[in-house]
Amino acid sequence: MTEQKRVVVIGGGIAGLTAAYRLQQNGAQDVNVQLVEASERLGGKIQTVRKDGFTIERGPDSFLARKESATRLANDVGLKDKLTPNGTGQSYILVNNKLHPMPSGSYMGIPTRIRPFLFSGLFSPLGKARAAMDLIKSTKSVDEDQSLGLFFRRRLGNQVVENLIEPLLSGIYAGSIDELSLEATFPHFYDLEQEHGSLIKGLRKTTTVSKRKKGEKKPSMFRTLQGGLESLVEAVESKLEPGTVLKGTKVDHIERKQDHYHIMLSDGSVMEADSIIMAVPHFAAQRMLSQYDFLEPFKETNATSVANVAMAFDESAIKKDIDGTGFVVSRNSDFRITACTWTHKKWPNSTPDGKVLLRCYVGKPTDQEVVDYSDEEIVEIALKDLNQTMNITEKPEFSIVTRWHDSMPQYKVGHKDRLNGIEEQLQRELPGVYLAGGSYRGIGLPDCIDQGEAAVAKVLNYLS
Ligand SMILES: Cc1cc2nc3c(=O)[nH]c(=O)nc-3n(C[C@H](O)[C@H](O)[C@H](O)COP(=O)(O)OP(=O)(O)OC[C@H]3O[C@@H](n4cnc5c(N)ncnc54)[C@H](O)[C@@H]3O)c2cc1C
Ligand SMILES: Cc1c2[nH]c(c1CCC(=O)O)Cc1[nH]c(c(CCC(=O)O)c1C)Cc1[nH]c(c(CCC(=O)O)c1C)Cc1[nH]c(c(C)c1CCC(=O)O)C2
């Protein structure tokens, strides 16, 4: 590359931020990087509120440690000392209005050890027998994608799906298990079935969910940063060269010119680019390129809305507590909340001594209207549900409600094929334009970071 090439990153969530940062690190003086963000702040769904000594997450509260890119990014921007593992404790599933401990030795709800399942109150003897059929049931190879629901129901039966797998998956994708794609979410499970003839056998052979000795602590799976996840956003932003970021400016439209692109901005100006990373949700990407039919399938990919409420209490307000870090709710319960995190136990640093911080989630796929209830109504719903298992005698000292509209993209059956098709066309019609972020190839923060980094590699390859 001789003259400086102009790369524009659209969207300042974690995918776009990572892309801009890595471009400046790896592309050095050969590229000029601009990041355009519609809102007045960076971070997108990562948003931390620091109030009265509490650290409160409005969006994600942590990332999975085994997906390494988030830890690596945190290390690279100087936050190594701030990485914090979750406090481990019992987590629960609420089934038929009663809390049941998550059976130990399970991976995403699939047994890798038989004993904890045999003794779990989550399933009837018939349900347990049906799950054990997985050990002998013939495998079914299919050429096409299938829903998570179909796959797991066939292997393990309805009860294990409804009382364990479904609530856990809802706590990740906030969607309907009978619509979500196996290939786009957990392709690994299909491979296990094919290779080992059984999910349980396959997992027992390949996972390291080892038996713990008595008194030995559960390993912690998640990480956050002291001061909240927004400190990652702040640290990455501080590493960007001055003048890189344009906030409060929306990209309205993109047009291809001979060998470069024109990017129409909401302030009426036009930005020129040789290459573009679109780190925005799929529906925003589609709108920017609405003249191209091949992005139309993105219009059909919906994203569900969710809301959550963080509630701070004095310890004394909780008369009957539960020893644990959180629970998810099965669909066969009367509860309207979908999950609750005992944040003060999962993240002890988040809460001052003597206080309690609970975070409840609402917005089942079949209960989307609750997201637009008033703050007071959402608090009331959360307290009413919590009081069925706990005894909370006072109103919260304060509460913070966050609504996330169209924020959980649904990877429906066929997602991967549709996306591959769109990206092929994109390469043909708009060379040098790439997609990255939670709408595409993984919703977790590390997946979004991976996609930002992968897009950088593609851009640098394209420009050379
Ligand atoms: C409530 C909730 C809880 C979650 N919990 C977890 C968790 O615990 N762990 C985990 O790993 N993941 C979690 N996730 C998922 C994770 O937060 C997201 O997948 C991830 O943050 C998405 O990052 P992104 O950069 O792809 O997109 P976003 O964060 O959505 O960023 C996109 C950015 O693009 C901007 N933008 C949009 N349109 C335009 C435009 N036209 N022009 C310019 N800019 C534009 C937006 O303003 C935004 O800043 C959670 C998500 C939600 C909603
Ligand atoms: C038990 C529980 C879960 N999730 C949650 C609980 C409640 C109690 C608690 O906080 O402990 C909370 C939660 N986390 C997430 C949601 C959905 C969004 C919402 O409703 O706000 C909800 C309701 C997103 C998520 N929660 C998680 C992700 C990231 C997943 C990833 O990186 O692939 C997201 C978007 C992580 C998560 N979340 C869960 C599991 C088993 C995993 C790891 C999955 C794995 O091992 O691959 C279940």
Q: Give the span between the Cα atoms of 367 and 417, in whole angstroms.
A: 29
Q: How confident is the model at residue 190 (pLDDT cuts 50, 70, 90)?
A: very high
Q: Please tell me the total number of residues recorded for the chain in this structure.
A: 464
Residues 415 and 291 in one domain: yes
Under the banding of pLDDT at 50, 70 and 90, the label for residue 119 is confident
Ligand at shortest distance from the CA of 13: 1
How confident is residue 51, by pLDDT bands cut at 50, 70 and 90?
very high
Domain count, the chain: 3
279 shares a domain with 197: no
Q: What is the mean pLDDT of residues 284-312?
A: 96
Same domain, 309 and 400: yes
188: domain range?
105-206
Q: In this structure, are 278 and 248 located in the same domain?
A: yes
pLDDT at 106: 81
Structure-derived torsion over alpha carbons of residues 64, 46, 177, 372, reported in degrees to the nearest 10? 150
Distance of CA 456 to the CA centre of its chain: 22
Domain boundary, last residue among 374, 389, 409: 409
Residue 223 maps to a domain: no
Given 409, 424, 447, which residue is the final one in a domain?
409
Q: Per-residue pLDDT for 40 more than 90?
A: yes
Q: How confident is the model at residue 9 (pLDDT cuts 50, 70, 90)?
A: very high
The whole-number pLDDT of residue 213 equals: 64
Local confidence band at 288 (pLDDT 50, 70, 90 cut-offs): very high
Q: How confident is the model at residue 290 (pLDDT cuts 50, 70, 90)?
A: very high
| Averaged pLDDT for residues 215-244 | 92
* pLDDT of res. 109: 79
CA-to-CA dists, residue 65 to 53, 126, 160, 334, 406, angstroms: 26, 36, 26, 33, 27
Residues 33 and 117 in one domain: no
CATH number of the domain that residue 402 is part of: 3.90.660.20
Q: Assign 211 a pLDDT band (cuts: 50, 70, 90).
A: low
> In this structure, what token pair is assigned to residue 231?
């400190």
What pLDDT shows up at residue 88? Answer: 84
The yes-or-no verdict on residue 209 having pLDDT over 80 is no
Q: What's the CA-to-centroid distance between 119 and ligand 2, angstroms?
A: 25
Are 101 and 92 in contact by the 8 Å Cβ rule? The answer is yes
Question: Do 130 and 158 reside in the same domain of the chain?
Answer: yes
Q: Does the pLDDT of residue 417 top 70, yes or no?
A: yes
Verify that 282 and 362 share a domain, yes or no: no
In a domain, 163, yes or no: yes
Say if residue 292 is in the same domain as residue 347.
no
What is the ipTM metric for this complex?
0.96
Nearest CA to ligand 1 atom 52: 59
Q: Give the CATH number, domain containing residue 255.
A: 3.50.50.60
What's the angle, vertex CA 34, arms to CA 32 and CA 37, rounded to 5?
170
Question: In this structure, are 176 and 128 located in the same domain?
Answer: yes
Ligand nearest the Cα atom of residue 266: 1
CB atoms closer than 10 angstroms to residue 171: 18
8 Å CB contact between 350 and 113: no
Residue at 54 is within a domain: no
22, with CB counted inside 10 A (0-12, 13-18, 19+), is buried
Decide if 340 is inside a domain.
yes
Whether the predicted pLDDT of 442 surpasses 60: yes
User: What is the pTM assigned to this prediction?
Assistant: 0.96
Ligand 2 pocket: which residues have CB below 6 Å? 64, 67, 91, 108, 168, 171-172, 174, 306, 308, 325-326, 328, 338-339, 341, 346, 361, 408, 443-444, 446-447
- The answer to whether residue 2 scores a pLDDT higher than 80 is no
Asked whether the predicted pLDDT for residue 219 surpasses 90, the reply is no
The number of beta carbons lying within 10 Å of the beta carbon of residue 339 is 23
| Domain-embedded: residue 399 | yes
Residue 211 lies in a domain: no
Q: Give me the phi and psi of 92, to 5 degrees please.
A: -125, 165
Q: Are residues 150 and 242 in the same domain?
A: no
Ligand 1: atom nearest CA of 16 is: 25
Instruction: Determine the distance separating the centroid of ligand 2 and the alpha carbon of 370, expressed in angstroms.
Output: 20
Do 114 and 200 fall within a single domain? yes
- CATH number of 133's domain: 1.10.3110.10
For 94-113, what is the mean pLDDT? Answer: 86
Residue 221 lies in a domain: no
State the average pLDDT for the chain: 94
Domain edge (last residue) among 386, 409, 432: 409
As a whole-number percent, the residues of the chain with pLDDT over 90 amount to 84
Looking at the fold, whether 365 and 322 belong to one and the same domain comes out as: yes
pLDDT in tens, 313-366: 999 999 888 888 999 999 989 999 999 999 999 999 999 999 999 999 999 999
Kindly state whether residue 457 falls inside one of the protein's structural domains.
yes
